[in-house]
């Protein structure tokens, strides 16, 4: 799968790289000029996720989509075993234009049957991708060819129509650009897919039955590993957000009052665009927001649920959080899920209680500080464990927990030292900058691509 992904990346990377370089050379601002077949609209960028490439068969755009187990690195050092498409979860973004006929050759490389649903598309019933109802299951090793016309435009997505498969990553963006660009035109157009996983300590596999989540991702990355959005001062920015998880996410933008211009299924008439700074992206929904980035700064864009701004949350209980011990072999699923039937959650023989308040036993959780035991912080008082709730943000989010170097890339150029210690979960930055800094970052990106090309490794 990695081989295939790097092949796609090299094809795409080369094309995108040379287009970007020539745009810079010509001083052009619009990506549309370098992207044929996109109806003149600015191509949508999905930070940290590739586009799905296509070839033409006559007038049909042909995509190849493969469901498969993937290794998704959510932050440096934490790689989850998920199910996704073509090497990532979420899968690569499909982009096409209103009026296109598309063919998606779908291969199932998962160990269980599946079927792919095109969420929100108006298409013939036998293309709707509901196994057992509108089509046969696509078995492991099997293939199904979807083909249909696109007469809508807007923000859509594709996903497995098997509920538990959705919960381990099987989602991807599906953008249908309008024949005529929306007015007013956007200079930048971004897409984020919201996903959530419950991964118990010492595991890399999400527990799809859990109801509380400790990895919250934007395009498969948790903050601070999400690539910031780079915007030139004065540009009009569109951000599209899709959600396929168990929770609704109130997504908040700092510094700007946006218009909500679209939702799943369609762009909305301008007369009813609500203004605001927070939009609730419900499960199975999409929201498009637009604003004019007229104020410089590194502005936060994030889900505002407090636990969704954190990484790897779990209660500090049970043997798994203590060095040298782990979950005992043969422990029951209930214990693994933190649903205790007897005793208390901090007893030595219990697994971690990931779900605070989950199950009857959780009420017996012992009063204690939330400190990470064994962590030696220079400034931490010796009596930390005796102070109720200490430390909450004091040490979980701080420059001491920063990983600036590990998440460094051209788009983080110029951020203040320690910035990464204050960003987790579904959090990223919209960086509105003067033209010189913007050009500098493009230059760094071109250098990075050239370096990767020389080393036979494409970013
Ligand atoms: Cu959230």
Q: Render pLDDT for 30-64 as a digit per residue (tens, 0 to 9).
A: 333 334 445 567 899 999 999 999 999 999 999 99
Q: State residue 211's pLDDT score.
A: 82
How many whole angstroms from 303 Cα to the centroid of ligand 1? 5
pLDDT given for residue 233 in this prediction: 97
pLDDT at site 293: 98
Q: What's the CA-to-centroid distance between 197 and ligand 1, angstroms?
A: 12
| List of residues 6+ apart from 265 with CB closer than 8 A | 120, 152, 154, 156, 286
Average pLDDT, the chain: 81
Taking the centre of ligand 1 as the mean of its atom positions, its distance from the CA of residue 301, in whole angstroms, is 12
How far is it, in rounded angstroms, from Cα 292 to Cα 278?
A: 16
Interval between CA 244 and ligand 1 midpoint (Å)? 11
| Distance from residue 57's CA to the centre of ligand 1 (Å) | 41
* CA 210–ligand 1 middle distance (angstroms): 16
Summarised one tens digit per residue, pLDDT across range 249-302 is 999 999 999 999 999 989 999 999 999 999 999 999 999 999 999 999 999 999
Name which of 64, 115, 118 is nearest 86 in CA terms. 64
pTM, 2 dp: 0.80
Residue 304 CA, ligand 1 centroid: distance in Å: 6
User: What's the CA-to-centroid distance between 286 and ligand 1, angstroms?
Assistant: 14
Find all residues with CB under 8 Å of 163, minimum gap 6, and list them. Answer: none
253 CA to centre of ligand 1 in angstroms: 13
Q: Quote the pLDDT of residue 402.
A: 80
Q: What is the pLDDT of residue 22?
A: 35
- Which is higher by pLDDT, 158 or 77? 158
Quote the CA–CA distance of 41 and 44 in Å, as a whole number: 9
Q: How far is the CA of 213 from the centre of ligand 1 (A)?
A: 10
Q: What are the tens digits of pLDDT across the range 147-199?
A: 999 999 999 999 999 999 999 999 999 999 999 999 999 999 999 999 999 98
Query: Which residues, other chains included, contact 446 with Cβ-Cβ below 8 Å and sequence gap of 6+?
Result: 17, 20, 21, 24
Ligand 1 centroid, distance to 228 Cα (angstroms): 18
Asked which of 4-8, 49-53, 446-450 is least confident by mean pLDDT, the reply is 4-8
Q: Which pLDDT belongs to residue 23?
A: 33
What spacing in Å lies between the alpha carbon of 101 and ligand 1's midpoint?
Answer: 35
Residue 369 alpha carbon to ligand 1 centre in Å? 25
CA–centroid distance, residue 211 to ligand 1 (Å) = 13
Query: What is the 294 CA–ligand 1 centroid distance (Å)?
Result: 27
Q: What is the mean pLDDT of residues 72-77?
A: 94
| Contact (CB, 8 A) for 373 and 194 | no
Q: What are phi and psi of 83, to 5 degrees?
A: -110, 130
Predicted confidence (pLDDT) at residue 129 exceeds the cutoff of 80: yes
Interval between CA 196 and ligand 1 midpoint (Å): 9
CA of 309 to the centre of ligand 1 (A): 8
**205 Cα: distance to centroid of ligand 1 (angstroms):** 20
390 pLDDT above the threshold of 70: no
Q: Does the structure show a pLDDT above 80 at 447?
A: yes
Q: How far does the centroid of ligand 1 lie from the alpha carbon of residue 138, in Å?
A: 32
Residue 366 above 60 pLDDT?
Answer: no
| 409 Cα: distance to centroid of ligand 1 (angstroms) | 26
Residue 350 pLDDT exceeds 60: no
Confidence bin at 341 (pLDDT 50/70/90):
low
Distance 406 CA to ligand 1 centre (A): 25
Does residue 126 register a pLDDT over 60?
yes
- Average pLDDT rounded to a whole number, residues 299-314: 89
Of 17-21, 146-150, 194-198, 230-234, which range is least confident?
17-21
Mean pLDDT over 387-402 rounds to 59
Question: 54-63, 232-241, 271-280, 400-409 — which is least confidently predicted?
Answer: 400-409
As a whole number, mean pLDDT of residues 71-86 equals 95
Mean pLDDT highest for which of 32-41, 88-97, 419-428? 88-97
Extract the tokens encoding 342: 């007897």
Distance from Cα 344 to the centre of ligand 1, integer Å: 29
- At 400, the pLDDT band (50, 70, 90 cuts) reads low
**pLDDT band at residue 356, thresholds of 50, 70 and 90?**
very low
Distance from the alpha carbon of residue 199 to the mean position of ligand 1, in angstroms: 16
Measure 26 CA to ligand 1 centroid, in angstroms: 41
**What is the pLDDT at residue 32?**
36
Q: For residue 364, what pLDDT is reported?
A: 44
Of residues 389 and 58, more confidently modeled:
58
* Ligand 1 geometric centre to CA of 166 (Å): 17
Mean pLDDT, to the nearest integer, of 22-28? 33
CA–CA separation, 361 vs 341, rounded Å?
6
Find the mean pLDDT for residues 104-129: 97
Compute CA 312 distance to the chain's CA centroid, rounded to the nearest angstrom: 16
Higher-pLDDT residue of 212 and 176 is 176
Q: Give percent of the chain with pLDDT exceeding 90.
A: 63
Q: In DSSP terms, which residues pair with 143 in a beta bridge? A: 107
What distance in angstroms lies between residue 282's CA and the mean position of ligand 1's atoms? 10
Phi, psi of 211 (to 5 degrees): -110, 0
Contact 121, 115 (CB under 8 A): no
The answer to whether residues 309 and 426 touch, using CB atoms and an 8 Å cutoff, is yes
């Amino acid at each position: 799968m990695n081989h295939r992904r790097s092949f796609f990346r090299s094809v795409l990377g080369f094309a995108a790289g040379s287009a970007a370089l020539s745009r810079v050379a010509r001083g052009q601002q619009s990506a549309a000029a370098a992207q044929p077949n996109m109806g003149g609209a600015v191509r949508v960028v999905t930070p940290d996720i590739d586009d799905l490439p296509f070839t033409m068969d006559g007038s049909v755009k042909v995509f190849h989509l493969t469901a498969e187990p993937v290794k998704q690195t959510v932050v440096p050092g934490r790689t989850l075993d998920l199910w996704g498409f073509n090497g990532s979860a979420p899968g690569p973004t499909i982009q096409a234009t209103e009026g296109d006929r598309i063919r998606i050759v779908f291969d199932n490389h998962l160990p269980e049957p599946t079927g792919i649903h095109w969420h929100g598309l108006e298409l013939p019933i036998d293309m709707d991708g509901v196994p057992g109802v509108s089509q046969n299951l696509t078995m492991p090793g099997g293939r199904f060819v979807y083909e249909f016309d696109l007469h809508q435009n807007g923000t859509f997505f594709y996903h497995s129509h098997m509920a538990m498969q959705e919960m381990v990553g099987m989602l991807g963006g599906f953008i249908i650009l309008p024949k005529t660009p929306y007015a007013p035109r956007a200079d930048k157009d971004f897409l984020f897919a919201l996903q959530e996983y419950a991964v118990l300590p010492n595991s890399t596999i999400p527990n799809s039955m859990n109801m509380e989540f400790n990895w919250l991702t934007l395009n498969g990355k948790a903050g601070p590993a999400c690539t910031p959005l780079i915007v030139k001062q004065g540009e009009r920015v569109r951000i599209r957000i899709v959600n396929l998880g168990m929770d609704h996410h109130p997504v908040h933008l700092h510094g700007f009052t946006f218009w909500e211009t679209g939702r799943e299924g369609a762009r909305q008439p301008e007369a009813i665009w609500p203004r605001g700074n927070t939009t609730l992206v419900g499960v199975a929904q999409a929201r498009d927001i637009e604003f004019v980035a007229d104020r410089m700064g590194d502005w936060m864009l994030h889900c505002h649920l407090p636990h969704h701004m954190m990484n790897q949350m779990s209660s500090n209980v049970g043997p798994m959080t203590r060095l040298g011990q782990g979950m005992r072999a043969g422990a029951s699923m209930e214990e693994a899920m933190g649903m205790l039937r007897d005793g208390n959650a901090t007893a030595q023989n219990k697994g971690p209680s990931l779900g605070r308040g989950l199950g009857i036993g959780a009420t017996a959780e012992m009063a204690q500080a939330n400190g990470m035991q064994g962590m030696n912080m220079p400034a931490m008082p010796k009596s930390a464990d005796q102070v109720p709730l200490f430390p909450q943000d004091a040490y979980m989010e701080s420059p001491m927990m920063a990983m600036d170097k590990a998440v460094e890339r051209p788009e983080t150029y110029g951020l203040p030292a320690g910035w990464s210690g204050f960003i987790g979960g579904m959090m990223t930055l919209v960086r509105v900058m003067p033209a010189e800094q913007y050009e500098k970052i493009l230059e760094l990106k071109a250098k990075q691509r050239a370096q990767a090309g020389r080393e036979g490794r494409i970013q």
